Amino acid sequence: MDFEPLYLTFKLAVVTTAILLVLALPLAYWLSGTRSKFKPILEALVTMPLVLPPTVLGFYFLVALSPRNPFGQWLSENLGLQLVFSFKGLVLASLVYSLPFMVQPIQAGFSALPKSLKEAAQLMGKSRWAILKDVLLPNIKPSVWTGIVLAFAHTIGEFGVVLMIGGNIPGETRVASIAIYDSVEALDYASANTYSLILFAITFSILLTVYAINGGYLKTQRT
């Protein structure tokens, strides 16, 4: 039994989730408060990966990042980045693919807070950063957790995008979902079952924990 695909899957999910958190917080904050006319365009773009077939996304990534095309060539020559069929490429594709899962819950959390909280802090002379850190974020913790978990779980479940841009290179891009597909193709149902069972158990435990925490079931009941 080869555990590398599982390790790679979780590595990809952890890296993607961490980067997404840093990117999505300011983006969601901006989207929740802005009246810019670009907002609907940006919102549509952020949400696209929810409805597009992953293969479409993967296909365009493949085309754009291929060293045969200008952008891919530029990346390769100037930054030394070879993104197609590499782990880095998987991370980039996963960032886009899981973006809505991180942005939307956080944006909804920000939007649900009464405007007066931010205004009160503003009138106390607090900087934008202090308002975000000390007032807004502590009050949308459940939304942030939801975003983290959904982005993590969604990255674990990736298949189409990974297959298109990463292929099936052991130790580099062969994540669990690909390994399962591969095992089934090779009629190795035992391995496919082990991978599947582990993914099933882990994702179920993560989601269960989050729903239990957000629903307050783990807190001591107060009267």
Partner 1 sequence: MISAHLVKRLQGTQGIFHLDVALEIPEGKLVTLYGPSGAGKTSILRMLSGLMPPDDGSIEVNGMSWFKGNDKLYVPSRKRNVAFVFQDFALFPHMTVLENLCFAMSQRDEKQAQELLDFVDLKGLQAVKPHSLSGGQQQRVALARALAQQPKILLLDEPLSALDFDLRKRMQHLLRKVHDRFGYTTLLVSHDPTEIMILSDFVYHIENGKIIAEGKAETLFENQNTILTTGTVLEITPNENGFAVHLKIQDSTLVIELSDEKGKALQIGDTIELGPRK
| Residues binding partner 1 (CB under 8 A) | 114, 116-117, 119-127, 134-135, 138-139
Q: DSSP for 107-163?
A: HHHHHHS-HHHHHHHHHTT--HHHIIIIIIHHHSHHHHHHHHHHHHHHHHT--HHHH
**Closest approach of partner 1 to the CB of residue 109, in Å:** 13
Q: Which is nearer to partner 1, 40 or 114 (CB)?
A: 114
Burial of 126 (0-12, 13-18, 19+ CB in 10 A): middle
Tokens of 107: 């944006």
Whole-Å CA distances, 178 to 25, 27, 93, 159, 162:
31, 31, 15, 7, 8
Smallest gap from residue 135 Cβ to partner 1 (A): 6
Minimum gap (Å) between residue 119 Cβ and partner 1: 5
Nearer Cβ to partner 1 (65/106) = 106
Residue closer to partner 1 (CB basis): 141 or 209: 141
Instruction: Pick the closer one to partner 1 by CB: 77 or 119.
Output: 119
For partner 1, the closer of residues 33 and 167 by Cβ is: 33
Residue with tokens 């980067």: 19
Q: CB of 193: closest distance to partner 1 in angstroms?
A: 45
Nearer to partner 1, 51 or 123 (CB): 123
- For the CB of residue 117, give the shortest distance to partner 1 in the complex, in Å: 6
Rounded to a whole number of angstroms, the minimum distance from the CB of residue 211 to partner 1 is: 21
Minimum gap (Å) between residue 138 Cβ and partner 1: 4
Handedness of CA 84, 90, 92, 93 (dihedral sign): positive
Closer Cβ to partner 1, 70 or 114, answer by number:
114
Separation CA 45–CA 95 (nearest Å): 13
Taking the CA atoms of 205, 211, 213 and 217 in sequence, report the sign of the dihedral they define: negative
Between the alpha carbon of residue 120 and those of residues 29, 141, 177, 195, the distances in Å are 17, 20, 48, 51
